[in-house]
Structure 1
Amino acid sequence: PPFHLVDSTLREGEQFAGSRFTTNHKIKIAQMLDTVGVEYIELSSPASSAVSLEDHKLLVDLNLKSKLVPHLRCAKPDVDLALQTGVKVFHLMFATSPILQKYSHGKSIDEVITRATEMVSYLKGMGMEVRFSGEDAFRSDFEDLKRVFTAVLEAGADRIGLPDTVGVATPFEVYDAVKRFRTLFPQAQIQFHAHNDAGCAIANSYAALMAGATHLDVCVLGIGERNGITPLTGLIARLYSIDRSSVAKYNLKALKPLDEYVARLVGVDIPFNSCLTSPTAFHHRAGIHTNAIVRSAASYEIFDPADFGMDRKIDVAHRLVGKNAIKHRAQQLGLTIADDLLSEITWEIKTMSDQERLNDQFVDDLLREAASGQRRIKHLYATEGSTRPIN
């Protein structure tokens, strides 16, 4: 189904522990997101600080293709500040769960409806695009959400938002909730925002899409409050693996430099299990795997690394290596080595690796010496538990 990505690195990402984006950082991130092609870029409220307000104006002046969207309370002073910046899309929010009604704002659902509809009507009267989100939707009462969403849609809201604010929902619950509201409001756009507290952010976002969501929130590296939200590359990976054409509208090769840039800014490495852009995303090691990979990459890869500006790596400097991986490495180096000698080299690498950590240079030197006729092979005996190389 058609969908739009709402990147929240400049809003949710600002809430990540240790994050502090300068004006120049924000400009570069926004430009890089625009290069990727995300449809919306969400911004922190201009009421957050004097610099935030000025940054909004500077970002609007960039004239990006991506729509810039401030994240706002249903408070007229905040909305009026955002209007000064020249944005045309507005994200309004109000907590609707009993626990946040009690401990966050102290308002009843009737008061939430009054405030929300006033701001929606105010903005729609000026022709703005408006989303209203019920914060903590998955701990909110369904009937309360139904009343609130009915009211804001009648007031003219373009879109309703279902955020899993504390990451409590399962994919099944997300699918059920989005499906119910899609049935109730067939003409409305539905936005979904998934926190990753229980590790379900990507799965929940995909479930929301399958149930009828039209807008999905993401963040570079998944950074955000606590342990963050749905990562941009993670959702792209999920969608690409099912239907490559569904993400053809995005510049996939722009994802890696974007992840690397934001990672530097917030002082983290790209996690090893980060989809697509991790240094190990296309790294193959086990002999059985590498034996198949050198014949057909599709045997153990569901992505083409070239589509993402990434390279495949076949690791050969370890005890799990197979002869075919060593042969493949020799071919990469332009070397011709007889099969029996390749078997001996593989055996030596395995035996040496049982004793110490090896590196690629060691293997390359071994192959070059063998190819030149220098028989360095010493026929070392295996330690207990080692096996002969597998052809």
Structure 2
Amino acid sequence: MNIKVLDTTLRDGEQTPGVSLTSLEKLRIATKLDEIGVEYIEAGSAITSEGERASIKEITSQGFGAEILSFSRPLTVDIDYCLDCDVDGVNLVVPTSELHIHDKLNISCDELIDLSNDAVDYCKDHGLVVELSAEDASRSNVDFLRKVYSNAIDHGADRICVCDTVGILTPDSSLDLFSKLNDFSVPIACHCHNDFGLAVANTLAALKGGASEIHTTINGIGERAGNTSFEECVVSINRLLPQFSTNVKIDQIYDISKLVARSTGVYIQPNKAIVGENAFAHESGIHSDGVIKNSATYEAITPELVGRKRKFIIGKHMGTHGLDNRLKELGLNVDDIQLKQICDDIKELADKGKTVTDVDLQVIADNVLQINHEDRIKLDELTIVSGNKVMPTASVKITVDDVEILNAGVGLGPVDAAINALKSVDAFKDIDLIEYHVDSITGGTDAFIDVIIKLQKEDKVVSARGTEADIINASVKAYIAGVNRLLRD
């Protein structure tokens, strides 16, 4: 059975506290959703604001293959705004629990049904596709819920949806509820929230109960604890539920996950399934050895399936097989004795609580192999001017291939100014600083600062570290060390 996907990242996802997307960001996300095969895109809530309507209009003007919807209450004013945005349809949300009907709307159940029917009639009279979503359906009386749905279908609703608005379903109760609602003449959808961390499990159970459409958000963002995670749900359907399928191009899932994370500023926890940075990372020696021999030993899916790559992490839990694999990736071939010595040195470093980066690995390997690299760039002098009413300014004197260079730069702060002073030097061009992380190693105002950065030149990414009592010196040293590494490679 083919399962349809309605993605509500641009509506329910944007209701994540602190998230507000620009029209361009919404368009980029909608474009990617359309490209990867999502059937229905809830582009926003037209009633919200003029800017929201402009964003929805921009999306509806693109001629996407996906059906574009707007959230709407069962009110003429909401529906009129949806019509103004040229959407294909509406996600018509109608409260169905006694709590919402009596305490929120202060109306009777019969009045609620009349309100729903009138809204469906108005939508259909104006050519809109209608998906009627029962808000708080999981806390509604099932007989009344069926009555609301039956009336809506009789008035022309094209699809119906069960909303677990506060995330109180369990997989068992989700299966039971959908089994009682799967006999209608139109498709039924599942919209879950993650308040108890069960949104994906409840959605999968709903499919077994008869649902044929799922509501999701990219990375599971949304109000409170979020919504059903698009990537987790789609990949679970693909790999764990052979009786179901979707039209989603799952090898592009990681791309859209990163796009949404960048656009919203809601970054992904490292251990998140499918798209977290550690999802396909291995440090344990037993795991690394098994994965090298056969990836299925410790991976339920291959990283390539979802547009990822496998990583072997350098740390105290690693074994020699994973380490040897990483050394080969760095172009270093070692014998068994050298490999064991490098492994022991890394574990000694990690036991002290230090994060072992590729730079540390390179230095340790160089020491064991007695390799001495001559750095092309050396820092001779660094001067910083900064104050309350002074734009931070840095001057640097460096030696590049035995040629002395003096340069200056300004920035938002002294570190930014120092890095900018270096960036304009030819040796530093086409190198991007993609990650910058600072840790205080000791306590007090004289604490040693540990700066870890990542630099990229074309498809090559390296890590570098600088440790100083002065954060500016530590940052510059780390930056120069990383550039030396890229130039050497």
Give TM-score scaled by structure 1 length: 0.89
CA distance in 1, matches of 2:242, 2:336: 39
Which residues of 2 match residues 269-280 of structure 1 at below 5 A? 269-280=267-278
Q: 2:335 aligns with which of 327, 335, 338?
A: 338
Q: 1:217 aligns with which of 209, 215, 219?
A: 215
**How far off its partner does 1:243 sit?**
5.4
The code of the aligned residue for 1:117 comes to N
Q: Report if the CA contact (8 A) 2:38-2:247 is conserved.
A: no
Equivalent in the alignment of 1:325: 322
Equivalent in the alignment of 2:261: 263
Equivalent in the alignment of 2:229: 231
CA distance in 2, matches of 1:218, 1:373: 52
Range that drifts further, 9-18 or 303-312? 303-312
Q: Report if the CA contact (8 A) 2:164-2:193 is conserved.
A: yes
Equivalent in the alignment of 1:161: 161
Q: Report if the CA contact (8 A) 1:290-1:324 is conserved.
A: yes
Equivalent in the alignment of 1:350: 347
1:75 aligns with 2:75: yes
Q: Report if the CA contact (8 A) 1:170-1:200 is conserved.
A: yes
Equivalent in the alignment of 1:306: 304
Instruction: Name the SS for the 2:318 alignment partner.
Output: coil
Equivalent in the alignment of 1:193: 191
Equivalent in the alignment of 2:280: 282
Instruction: Name the SS for the 1:42 alignment partner.
Output: strand
Q: Deviations over 1:25-49 (max 9, x none)?
A: 2211211211222111113321211
Equivalent in the alignment of 1:96: 96
Over 3 Å counting, the alpha-carbon distance change for 1:74 and 1:194 in structure 2 is: same
Range that drifts further, 235-244 or 153-162? 235-244
Give the share of equivalent positions with the same residue, in percent: 31
Larger radius of gyration: 2
Over 3 Å counting, the alpha-carbon distance change for 1:211 and 1:280 in structure 2 is: same
Q: Deviations over 1:330-358 (max 9, x none)?
A: 33334432223323332232233223413
Q: Deviations over 1:281-332 (max 9, x none)?
A: 111111111110111111111122122221111112x221212222222333
Equivalent in the alignment of 1:388: none
Q: Deviations over 1:210-266 (max 9, x none)?
A: 211111110112111112101111212322332589667323343323222322333
**How far off its partner does 1:359 sit?**
2.3
How many residues in Structure 1 have an aligned counterpart in Structure 2? 371
1:45 aligns with 2:6: no
Q: Report if the CA contact (8 A) 1:221-1:233 is conserved.
A: yes
**How far off its partner does 1:193 sit?**
0.4
Equivalent in the alignment of 1:173: 173
Q: Deviations over 1:160-191 (max 9, x none)?
A: 110000001111111111111113x2x22101
Instruction: Name the SS for the 1:294 alignment partner.
Output: helix
Q: Report if the CA contact (8 A) 2:7-2:216 is conserved.
A: yes
**How far off its partner does 1:88 sit?**
2.1
Q: Report if the CA contact (8 A) 1:335-1:368 is conserved.
A: no
Q: Report if the CA contact (8 A) 1:35-1:254 is conserved.
A: no
Q: Report if the CA contact (8 A) 1:234-1:275 is conserved.
A: yes
CA distance in 1, matches of 2:4, 2:182: 16
CA distance in 1, matches of 2:178, 2:78: 29
Q: Report if the CA contact (8 A) 2:341-2:368 is conserved.
A: no
CA distance in 2, matches of 1:276, 1:213: 24
Q: 1:205 aligns with which of 176, 200, 203?
A: 203
Equivalent in the alignment of 1:18: 18
CA distance in 2, matches of 1:207, 1:371: 56
Q: Report if the CA contact (8 A) 2:10-2:44 is conserved.
A: yes
The code of the aligned residue for 1:344 comes to Q
CA distance in 2, matches of 1:168, 1:270: 24
Q: Report if the CA contact (8 A) 1:38-1:66 is conserved.
A: yes
Q: Which has the higher strand share?
A: 2
Range that drifts further, 52-61 or 327-336? 327-336
Q: Report if the CA contact (8 A) 1:19-1:265 is conserved.
A: no
Instruction: Name the SS for the 1:9 alignment partner.
Output: coil
CA distance in 2, matches of 1:196, 1:36: 24
1:137 aligns with 2:134: no
CA distance in 2, matches of 1:19, 1:348: 45
Instruction: Name the SS for the 2:45 alignment partner.
Output: coil
Give TM-score scaled by structure 2 length: 0.72
Q: Report if the CA contact (8 A) 1:6-1:217 is conserved.
A: yes
CA distance in 2, matches of 1:59, 1:333: 45
Instruction: Name the SS for the 2:228 alignment partner.
Output: coil
Q: Deviations over 1:68-101 (max 9, x none)?
A: 1111111112112212222222211111111111
Q: Report if the CA contact (8 A) 2:216-2:230 is conserved.
A: yes
Instruction: Name the SS for the 1:319 alignment partner.
Output: coil
Unaligned runs of 5+ in 2: 373-489
Over 3 Å counting, the alpha-carbon distance change for 1:47 and 1:373 in structure 2 is: closer
